[in-house]
């Protein structure tokens, strides 16, 4: 398998020009963040990714985690890598210094997580769930709970999990059967959870489970669910570890990919009952859990970007090395009869440029979302905070679904670039594809994200936020029309304008149709989400092209990199934004065809 090198130059550009690093650094509590500091952090993070995590990726895939006598054993080198990860302070980057965090922006942390996901996705799934648990405790935990758990979770000395799904419930959380009963100052929890990522392991001395279970007196359905802390080992008043709690891994799932990540069936309370501590108030578990899920959805979308970058680097390396066939006669690349590297063949070049342009669009979207999250969390002005939260709510399902759908396509393209060798496990191309497959299902399958986008984020407010997005896109288009585009191609503006019109048409149809007939809107929610991803990706690529053009005009010495940014933005406009009118047609005209076949016609 090929190695990994963090694309530091493009990451720094996206942080500054799309993520709004300077604006984020001006938010309360983040004033110590500056470009030089961020560059140093990214450089060191890249070294850890390429030098420590990436070499373990293939090892983890081949060995997998295994359950032995009730203990989960991780692949060779994982425990040592995790020890180095948390001891080096990487887990604590975005968290409150009060609990041992470094207090840096989520924007910076997002860039770091891209590196680690790309280097070894199965490994980084472990601290990802810890991060989500920290967010839930920060917002809803009691002072005593924060005192007991936060510092060890923030540093990464302990890890966390998220326990929702049960065999009979799946996405329908209202069907959850796990129950908690009051027992003095705590609860006793009984039930079984499935698909629990890193539900158990030996890399840390404690694992803190956040578990969704039915309240003793709660109403049926989701309204009767509460959120509980269930530690693997109980914690004494002085912070030392006490006895083992009644929670254990029952089995590990045998999966298509991410073999190193133990996906556990967890048993709670099979003997005396698992000691559990209520977070917040009873019957508000769904509300609290969504805090974790939204955090995790951004993280999963980032996984789509990261694994795409890893696959792209592998595809480029192979295309430059693999010699096969002659250059096409009469092409700009020459007509020699001498065999050439396959990167010289137009269709291979098309695939690589498509991968590169869509990766840059995903990176722009992820970083833009992370910067918006920082603003929503920290802005001093109430109106600015409200606007950022509304934009963040709109972006989250798009980040999660569009980036993971695109990531799956790009890892598939990597196999295609390799030809027959891509289908052979030894090259490693297949692992990236297998690992990417789960991301479209994690944290709410992408069809659920599409329904969330349409029903909750576009229609519920009467289209206010999506129209605000359209206004921002028009502002970017105005920069092209007023001559501020410099060397950026007018093709970008032309295609972006057409995509904007298509998205406006589809959005207005949904706003008018969905309230009276939700089934019609639900039938076309997936193409609408893809259309939204394409539009926002194209908009942010246009902004990147403008920024690159301005830097060139100012005499920036890195002309090769900046000119490449202009090229990939134009490629995205011609090969991705051009899909928008057809997607809009699918939204506004395609609902009847979705439901036309009867059950027995399938």
Q: How many CA atoms lie within 13 A of 443 on its CB side?
A: 29
Annotated catalytic, 443? yes
Q: Which phi and psi (to 5°) does residue 203 adopt? A: -75, -25
- Residues with Cβ within 8 Å of 20's Cβ and at least 6 positions away in sequence, in order, are 107, 368, 371
- Residues with Cβ within 8 Å of 245's Cβ and at least 6 positions away in sequence, in order, are 230, 231, 232, 233, 234, 274, 275
Residue in this structure with the two tokens 């134009």, named with its chain if needed: 570
Give the Cα separation of 406 and 287 in Å (integer): 29
**What DSSP line would sit under 402-439, residue for residue?**
HHHHHHHHHHHHHHHHHGGGGGSGGGSHHHHHHHHHGG
Q: How many helices (H) and strands (E) does the chain have?
A: 21, 14
Q: Pick the catalytic residue from 17, 360, 443, 479.
A: 443
Contact 454, 522 (CB under 8 A): yes
Helix (H, G, I), strand (E, B) or coil at 187: strand
Q: For residue 306, give the nearest of 544, 23, 567, 57 by alpha carbon.
A: 57
CA distance readout (Å), 47 to 4, 109, 119: 10, 15, 11
Secondary structure of 268-303 in the HEC alphabet?
Answer: ECCCCCEEEEECCCCCCHHHHHHHHHHHHHHHHHHH
**DSSP category for residue 263:** E
**Positions marked catalytic:** 443
């Amino acid at each position: 398998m090929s190695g990994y090198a963090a694309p530091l130059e493009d990451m720094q550009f996206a942080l500054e020009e799309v993520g709004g690093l300077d604006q984020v650094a001006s938010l309360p509590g983040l004033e110590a963040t500056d470009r030089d500091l961020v560059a140093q952090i990214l450089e060191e993070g890249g070294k850890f990714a390429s030098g420590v995590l990436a070499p373990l990726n293939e090892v983890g895939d081949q060995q997998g985690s295994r359950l032995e006598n009730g203990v989960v054993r991780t692949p060779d080198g994982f425990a040592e890598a995790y020890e180095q990860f948390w001891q080096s302070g990487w887990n604590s980057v975005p968290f409150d210094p009060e609990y041992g965090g470094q207090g840096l922006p989520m924007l910076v942390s997002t860039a770091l997580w891209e590196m680690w996901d790309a280097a070894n996705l199965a490994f980084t799934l472990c601290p990802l769930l810890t991060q989500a648990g920290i967010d839930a405790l920060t917002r809803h935990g009691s002072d005593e709970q924060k005192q007991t758990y936060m510092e060890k979770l923030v540093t990464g000395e302990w890890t966390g999990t998220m326990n929702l799904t049960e065999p009979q419930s799946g996405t329908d959380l209202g069907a959850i059967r796990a129950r908690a009963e009051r027992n003095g100052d705590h609860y006793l929890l009984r039930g079984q959870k499935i698909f629990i990522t890193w539900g158990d392991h030996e890399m840390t001395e404690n694992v803190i489970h956040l578990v969704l279970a039915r309240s003793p007196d709660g109403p049926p359905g989701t309204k009767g669910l509460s959120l509980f802390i269930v530690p693997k080992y109980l914690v004494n008043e002085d912070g030392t570890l006490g006895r083992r709690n009644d929670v254990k891994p029952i089995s590990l799932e045998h999966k298509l990919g991410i073999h190193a990540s133990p996906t556990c069936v967890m048993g709670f309370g099979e003997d005396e009952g698992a000691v559990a501590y209520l977070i917040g108030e009873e019957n508000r578990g769904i509300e609290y859990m969504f805090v974790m899920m939204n955090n995790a959805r951004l993280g999963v979308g980032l996984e789509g970007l990261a694994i795409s970058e890893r696959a792209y680097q592998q595809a480029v390396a192979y295309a430059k090395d693999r010699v096969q066939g002659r250059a096409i006669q009469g092409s700009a690349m020459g007509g020699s009869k001498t065999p050439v590297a396959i990167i010289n063949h137009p269709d291979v070049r098309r695939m690589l440029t498509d991968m590169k342009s869509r990766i840059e669009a995903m990176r722009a979207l992820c970083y833009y979302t992370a910067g918006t999250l920082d603003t929503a969390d920290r802005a001093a002005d109430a109106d600015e905070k409200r606007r950022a939260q509304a934009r963040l709510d709109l972006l989250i399902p798009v980040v999660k679904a569009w980036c993971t759908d695109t990531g799956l396509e790009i890892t598939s393209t990597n196999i295609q670039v390799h030809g027959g060798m891509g289908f052979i496990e030894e090259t490693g191309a297949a692992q990236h594809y297998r690992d990417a497959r789960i991301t479209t299902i994690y944290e709410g399958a992408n069809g659920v994200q599409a329904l969330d986008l349409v029903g909750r984020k576009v229609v519920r407010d009467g289209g206010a936020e999506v129209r605000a997005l359209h206004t921002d896109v028009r502002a970017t288009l105005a920069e092209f029309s007023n001559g501020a585009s410099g060397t950026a191609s007018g093709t970008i503006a032309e295609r972006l304008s057409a995509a904007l019109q298509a998205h406006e048409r589809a959005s207005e149809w949904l706003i008018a149709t969905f309230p009276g007939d939700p089934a019609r809107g639900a039938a076309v929610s997936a193409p609408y989400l893809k259309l939204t991803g394409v539009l926002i990706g194209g908009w942010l690529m246009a902004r990147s092209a403008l920024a690159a053009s301005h830097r060139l005009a100012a005499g920036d010495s890195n002309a090769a990199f900046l000119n490449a940014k202009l090229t990939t933005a134009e490629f995205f406009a011609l090969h991705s934004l051009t899909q928008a009118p057809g997607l809009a047609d699918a939204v506004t005209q395609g609902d009847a065809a979705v439901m036309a076949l009867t059950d027995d016609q399938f």
